[in-house]
Amino acid sequence: MLTFAALADPSRRRIVEMLARGPLSVSEIASRFTISASAVSQHLKVLRTAKLVRARVAAQQRIYELDTAGLAEIESWLDGVGPLWQKRLEALERERRLEARGRP
């Protein structure tokens, strides 16, 4: 899944978190990093390829915003594994309660 590979990098996760608060221009994103503007552009390219962000042109700027397509892919994956983890967590909680009551 490209989405998880893209989010494996802390800088890209930070960009996604920034864009969750609203659209930003490339220069606004780059100004929040100590890495080069070129490096930020490369991160944005990876995020676009993974369909986590999209760009639109406004005058002389590229404005980036979250792309719901990539986020939907993550949500779909979580829906598939969520029930499995929920059952395991419930079993763990039952065991914790039994131990708290004095069962070895």
**Residue 69's CATH number:** 1.10.10.10
- The 10 Å CB-count burial string (b at 16+, else e) for 28-53 is ebbeeeeeeeeebeebbebbbebbbb
Q: Is the pLDDT of residue 4 over 80?
A: yes
Q: What pTM does this model have?
A: 0.76
| Domain that residue 13 falls in | 2-100
Specify the number of domains making up the chain.
1
What's the mean pLDDT when you consider all of the chain? 90
Q: Is the pLDDT of residue 102 over 80?
A: no
Residue 18 is predicted with a pLDDT of: 97
**Cβ proximity of 33 and 11 under 8 Å:** yes
Confidence of residue 104 (pLDDT cuts 50, 70, 90): low
pLDDT digits (tens, 9 = 90+) for 75-101: 888 888 878 888 888 888 888 888 888
User: How far is the C-alpha of 65 from the C-alpha of 53, rounded, in Å?
Assistant: 5
SS3 content of the chain, % helix, strand, coil (to 5): 65, 15, 20
**Cβ proximity of 52 and 16 under 8 Å:** yes
